[in-house]
Chain A
């Protein structure tokens, strides 16, 4: 069965600093990979997704993620973090059964 690991529960960065959120997955075939962001008490907003093709995926709000099959990773990056990026970030993997399996999430805190 597929699974997703987000090793970092909580990350704190200064505004303007670069950011990398880690995501590792376990799945036998080529996975469908997603990053979502959730503000407190809200639903999830899709940042980006990977199905196939170029392994570097560009998303909204200046985020990007790179699929590395050899490392079973799909890390999320942003070159310069804004205070409004403070939120909970979830990595998810999907398969051909339509289900999305979510990681445990990483809470991002941004200091001015």
Chain B
């Protein structure tokens, strides 16, 4: 159980275009999802927290207008990189928090990531 599906796994796009990345919780409901960005050989940097039915909360320094997040249902969050440029090339990973969870504690499940290359 507790599977998060992230698509696409790899995407190459031209500079100036937009790219949408989907994150789906397959067998549980996720009121909260998280989007991370990871540069090569570096750690995961939290970009934003996505809450179902409300606006995402962005971390300091993350451009809201460039990285659009939508969490329209309890099982789906999307990240759209708008007007992508080469510096947006990175590995993007989503995470979903299970409601309730073991002993009421945290249950985070990560997607397999999306490698975005902007040419």
Contacts and interface: CB of A to CB of B under 8 A. Distances in A.
B104 to A, nearest CB: 9
Contacts of A43: 4, 6, 93, 110-113
A46 B32 CA distance: 18
Interface residues of B, number: 24
Interface of B: 4, 6, 32, 34, 41-44, 46, 49, 91, 93, 95, 97, 103, 105-106, 108-113, 115
Provide the main secondary structure of the chain B interface.
strand
A104 B38 CA distance: 11
Contact of B44 (A32, A42, A90): A90
Given A90-B44, A103-B43, A104-B42, A44 B49 contact: no
A96 B6 CA distance: 26
A112 interface: no
Contacts of B42: 104-105
24 contacts: A34-B108, A41-B113, A41-B115, A42-B112, A43-B111, A43-B112, A43-B113, A44-B93, A44-B95, A46-B108, A46-B109, A49-B106, A90-B43, A90-B44, A94-B106, A98-B34, A98-B97, A99-B34, A100-B34, A102-B43, A102-B44, A104-B42, A105-B43, A107-B41
